[in-house]
């Protein structure tokens, strides 16, 4: 593995059995269940538009099994759409129109052994493993939601008849950089060559997307014979020099999510450390200036893939959950507003971008693919649903609010519960208002995060300024709340121009980026402008700012139709 500066982390002492939304009894810091949150405002609009998109013609039962990628990526679209519909439904509390029909059609579109694609004949196809990994993820999420045992047989068939057949072969997955064909592939990966026991993809490492599905299935099935195969796959992943082999960033981050999930199931805390090391590699060699991704490590002339942006947001938050390291939650917020939100298009789908940098001789963020409907639109659903779930965390009598979204939440507190509403226009407004509608019995520690690039934090309770303690990057208010209590959380975003590139290898040392709080700013007037870091930024509208005579606007947008290739959209981000 390429050497990079790794910041040590302290792994949380208590680990969890299972994931956050399956009803399993858990301890430690946990996001609340989907059912506990009623999301409104900006995030609710994003989920609803994505849900609408996933119920259009190409994702309906008559079309999804005829996907153009059904042969080269067996099960990929069929798995992602089920996963997307499940999490969109759970996070919006809206009944999906076609989910049951798609699941009912699974068996007729699988082979005679119950998985997608050709029968195993002694050779493993990493794209087939990847696609069926998404099928496992979709089926597992559906089961955790409904407890419908009809899908357990499908999960078992995929595990036994495909993944378990590869036992002893995963340790031979080709990882020598000299042997892998790199610098190949388009937005849709394809088979590039065969190597002994393996049929290999231009999306180097996509086999580990299958690994994450297998780990999720292990959580459901609990079969000890699966552990040996999973640990063989994980051991091979941990041997890879991700940068030297130019692994696909999406596959690598998905594998990190798998490591974290397996650590939660088994208590193998060292896997959190391993995921954190690879996260640092991603931040150094795989992240763009607006916190999207390069599709492969160190291939800086390539485009972003919202699938990976979703993974990066989830990995950052999962690392924060286990370590309480403030860096991760700050990174997650920057990713959400400047990366994930930028890549969601006006139709609710998600598309690929070109980030600025020296490899493309560009200072601007541009649209590369209007919509990656074959993968990212479906994958984006889990990113948005995760943002809903990550809006509130609990631990004992403590409530954590890491991000600010207009919403209401009901939080179990022992034998009572706390219900409160949140009103805010963050990140464009600099205040958040909480009203307690039902109070829990006893004291509650309300933890409100200090957002990225903010100062002058003030807490007001029932109209009175109130002292608070800062722990990490949270303001902590300990109080026995009463129904009708109002908590106002005020702060001031910092507007600044800073010399702080994300990727030192694809930028120049004298380049600057502009921020207003968490929001990256850019210039879309046409002619490139230069800044030297001494200028002042003045806010002139919700998304508009001036620097001297120049206008800057936010990289963030709420599904703006202008962010589309036929509009000649571009936004200068490096100055």
The topology under which CATH files domain 405-450+454-492 is Immunoglobulin-like (2.60.40)
Q: To the nearest whole number, what is the mean pLDDT of the chain?
A: 93
The pLDDT-based confidence of 193 (bands split at 50, 70, 90) is confident
Residue with tokens 């631990």: 395
Over residues 501-542, the pLDDT tens digits come to 999 999 999 999 999 999 999 999 878 899 988 999 999 999
The span from the CA of 397 to the CA of 468, in Å, is 17
Of the candidates 18, 109, 127, 112, which has an alpha carbon nearest to the alpha carbon of residue 67?
Answer: 109
Strands (E), 42-137: 124-125
Q: How many CB atoms lie within 10 A of CB 236?
A: 19
What is the arrangement of strands in the sheet containing 393-395, beginning at the earlier edge strand? 30-31, 393-395, 398-401, 444-449, 474-479, 469-471
- How far is residue 501's CA from residue 510's CA, in Å, rounded to a whole number? 9
Dist. CA 211–CA 194, nearest whole Å:
20
The string of pLDDT tens digits covering residues 11-61 is: 333 333 333 344 344 568 999 999 999 999 999 999 999 999 999 999 999
The mean pLDDT value for 299-306 works out to 96
Query: What is the total residue count of the chain?
Result: 575
Classify residue 288 by its DSSP letter. -
CA distances from 474 to 2, 329, 429, 450, 456 (A): 34, 11, 19, 6, 14
Report the half-sphere exposure of 104 (CA within 13 A, side-chain side).
Answer: 7
- This prediction has a pTM of 0.94
Comparing 21-30, 64-73, 441-450, which segment has the lowest mean pLDDT? 21-30
**Degrees (nearest 5) of the Cα angle 125, 127, 129?**
70
- Determine the pLDDT at residue 27: 61
- Tell whether the model's pLDDT for residue 419 goes beyond 90: yes
In terms of CATH architecture, what is 30-394?
Alpha/alpha barrel (1.50)
% of the chain surpassing 70 pLDDT: 95
What whole-number distance in Å separates Cα of residue 143 and Cα of residue 165? 24
What contacts 529, CB < 8 A, 6 or more positions away?
523, 550, 572, 575
Question: Residue 151 pLDDT > 90, yes or no?
Answer: yes
So what's the pLDDT on residue 26?
54
CA 334 to chain centre: 12
* 568: Cβ contacts below 8 Å, ≥ 6 apart: none
| Cα dihedral 45, 46, 48, 53 sign | positive
pLDDT of 5: 34
Domain ranges within the chain, ordered by starting residue: 30-394, 405-450+454-492, 495-572
* Cα angle 358, 359, 360; round to 5: 90
Judge whether 254 and 315 are in contact, CB under 8 Å: no
Is it the case that residue 8 has pLDDT exceeding 80? no
| CA dist., res. 456 & res. 130, Å (int) | 48
- Phi then psi for 37, rounded to 5 degrees? -110, 130
Give the largest CA-CA distance in the chain. Answer: 72
């Amino acid at each position: 593995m390429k050497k990079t500066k790794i910041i040590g982390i302290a792994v949380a002492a208590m680990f969890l059995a299972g994931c956050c939304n399956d009803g399993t009894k858990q301890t430690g810091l946990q996001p609340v269940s989907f059912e506990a949150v009623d999301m409104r405002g900006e995030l609710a609009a994003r989920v609803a538009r994505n849900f609408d998109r996933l119920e259009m013609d190409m994702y309906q039962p008559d079309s999804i099994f005829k996907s153009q990628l059904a042969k080269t990526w067996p099960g990929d679209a069929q798995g992602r759409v089920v996963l997307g519909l499940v999490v969109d439904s759970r996070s919006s509390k809206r009944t999906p129109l076609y989910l049951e029909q798609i699941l009912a059609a699974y068996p007729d579109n699988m082979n005679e052994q119950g998985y997608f694609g050709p029968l195993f004949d002694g050779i493993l196809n990493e794209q087939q493993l990847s696609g069926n990994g998404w099928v496992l993820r979709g089926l597992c999420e559906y089961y955790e939601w409904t407890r419908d045992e009809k899908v357990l047989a499908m999960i078992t068939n995929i595990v036994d008849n495909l993944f378990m057949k590869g036992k002893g072969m995963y340790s031979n997955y080709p990882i020598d950089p000299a042997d892998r064909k790199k610098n190949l592939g388009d937005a849709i990966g394809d088979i590039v060559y065969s190597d002994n026991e393996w049929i290999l993809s231009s999306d180097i490492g996509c086999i580990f997307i299958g690994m994450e599905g297998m780990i999720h299935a292990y959580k459901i099935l609990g079969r000890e014979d699966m552990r040996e195969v999973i640990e063989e796959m994980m051991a091979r992943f941990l041997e890879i020099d991700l940068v030297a082999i130019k692994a696909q960033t999406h596959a690598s981050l998905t594998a990190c999510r798998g490591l974290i999930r397996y650590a939660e199931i088994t208590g193998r805390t060292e896997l959190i450390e391993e995921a954190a090391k690879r996260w640092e590699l991603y931040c150094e060699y795989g992240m763009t200036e607006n916190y999207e991704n390069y599709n492969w490590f160190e291939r800086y002339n390539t485009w972003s893939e919202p699938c990976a942006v979703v993974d990066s947001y989830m990995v950052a938050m999962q690392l924060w959950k286990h370590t309480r390291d403030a860096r991760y939650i700050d990174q997650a917020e920057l990713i959400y507003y400047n990366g994930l939100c930028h890549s969601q298009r006006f139709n609710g789908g998600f598309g690929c971008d070109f980030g600025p940098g020296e490899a493309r001789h560009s200072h601007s963020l541009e649209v590369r693919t209007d919509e990656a409907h074959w993968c990212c639109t479906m994958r984006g659903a889990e990113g948005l649903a995760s943002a809903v779930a990550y809006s509130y965390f609990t631990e004992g009598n403590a409530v954590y609010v890491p991000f600010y979204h207009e919403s209401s939440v009901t939080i179990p507190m022992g034998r009572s519960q706390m219900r409160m509403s949140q009103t805010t226009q963050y990140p464009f407004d600099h205040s958040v208002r909480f009203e307690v509608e039902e109070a829990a019995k006893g004291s509650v520690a309300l933890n409100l995060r200090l957002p990225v690039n903010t100062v002058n934090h003030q807490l007001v309770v029932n109209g009175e300024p109130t002292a608070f303690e800062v722990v990490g990057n949270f303001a902590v208010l300990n109080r026995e709340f009463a129904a009708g209590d109002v908590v106002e959380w005020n702060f001031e975003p910092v507007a600044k121009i800073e010399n702080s590139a994300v990727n030192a290898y694809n930028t120049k040392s004298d380049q600057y980026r502009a921020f207003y709080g968490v929001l990256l700013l850019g210039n879309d007037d046409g002619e490139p402008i230069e800044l030297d870091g001494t200028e002042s930024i003045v806010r002139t509208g919700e998304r508009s700012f001036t620097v001297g005579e120049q206008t800057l606007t936010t990289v963030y947008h709420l599904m703006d139709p202008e962010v589309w290739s036929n509009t000649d959209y571009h936004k200068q981000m490096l100055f």
